Amino acid sequence: MGVAIRLLFLPLMAVAFCGSGVSGRSHFHKKPLRGGGGRHRGGGGKEGSAVSSPAVPPADDSTQPVTPQPPTGIVPSDPATPVQPAEPCVLDVRAYGAVGDGTTDDTQAFREAWKAACASDSDSTVLLVPSDGTFTITTTTFSGPCKPGLVFHVDGVLMPPDGPDCWPPSDNRRQWIVFSNLDGMTLRGAGTIEGNGEDWWNLPCKPHRVRRALAFQDLSRIGPNGSTLRGPCDSPTLLRFFMSRNLVVEGLRVENSPEFHFRFDGCSDVRVDGLYISSPANSPNTDGIHVENTERVAIYNSRISNGDDCISIGTGSYDVDIQNVTCGLGHGISIGSLGVHNSQACVANVTVRNAVIRNSDNGLRIKTWQGGMGSVSGITFDTVVMENVRNCIIVDQYYCLDKRCMNQSTAVHVADVSDTVPCTNITMSEQTPTIPPVTCLQDGLPDALLDNPDLKCR
């Protein structure tokens, strides 16, 4: 299915330093990354003071021209000596006490290694998780500011404790690894970040537990009237980037997250390339990549198969470019949900191009809550192939988790779907049948919306 759709949405539709003698330093030889996502840093040009050309003397038959002589110490026949880029300063987490046997708590070693890497004055510092180890760490925030160019390189396996029963009581149950207040940081490698999420998915308060319990006739796992059982239901996002800019994430395998695999909050200038993200189809709320209050985001050349949205785009997201991404099993690529609890939501300039969505409940979706405000604009879906997808494109201004939401008169504008804030300026080509038919959509912007302050975004 090839779809080109441009939408204007307003609001209701359904300290150690690297240097000689420093512990943990080694030479680093890059390995090729899966997915071709590697980024190469080349060396700079040759530096030095410029040599001025000699003045040309006036023409005089009695004066012989003077041959300019090279500066002292340079032989004209010698080729220019290229400036070699400095080798990166590599800090192996084992040098700071990490064991990597899959059971030892290596948290403190990682914190010490990060402290040293962040304090390094090298132009290229690498914190290395070596390929021959499985490292377990508890909830940790790796914060800056650090010098730009810092690389967190995972070649081995990195994972959290195995489920909620092993989670330290004092640790945050809503996030595992957080990268905060960083500029010019890269997370990459040929290794795996394993989320150990199964026991989190199976908490009795998770919605899918009722369906599974009914299938196996295990009524002990079902609450009154077929509801989920009460209990703590917070589950950690695996990798969160917060208030950072100029970020690169590439080449990793990330799987079985307790909840979202990646979350970008309050960031700018993000490039995601060559990731493989995998969780079972029945894993709840395991969005592959979630973007919120973040601008200038590129998500390229990645494969995502999970139990919820392949990519989800929340409020405050601008200039998001998604290309050459393959999604499977989950709920497709979603903008929203937006406007929950009568909030204002703004999303603009999102492009999905040359994508493939297979074996999914949904393909491309925009979902907003009744009662919300704001707008969604500049949305382009171009050349998206869908195979075995139940709902190819959904624009839902009545999004509601339990289908018991009250009808409200404001929303986030999508045309002739709501009588107060309809959709407008939708262009479709080569479309399949739609519900309702495209011909019923309103042409132009309703007069009541032109000066509505609730719909204003930047």
Q: Which helix (H) or strand (E) holds 334?
A: strand 333-338
CA distances from 343 to 211, 244, 274, 346, 452 (A): 32, 25, 35, 10, 15
- Extended strands (E) in 181-236: 186-188, 192-194
Which structure tokens are listed for 457?
A: 């975004």
CA distance 27 to 315: 43
Closest CA to 255 of 272, 277, 273, 274: 277
How far is it between the farthest Cα atoms of the chain?
A: 113
**Residue 376: which residues within 8 A CB-CB, separation 6 or more?**
7, 8, 9, 10, 335, 338, 345, 346, 347, 348, 366, 368, 412, 413, 414
268, 245 Cβ separation under 8 angstroms: yes
As given in the structure block, the two tokens for residue 160 are 């959290």
Concatenated DSSP letters of 122-161:
-SSEEEEE-TT-EEE--SEEEE----TT-EEEE-SEEE--
The amino acid that residue 215 corresponds to is A
Would you please indicate which residues are annotated as catalytic (active-site) residues? 331
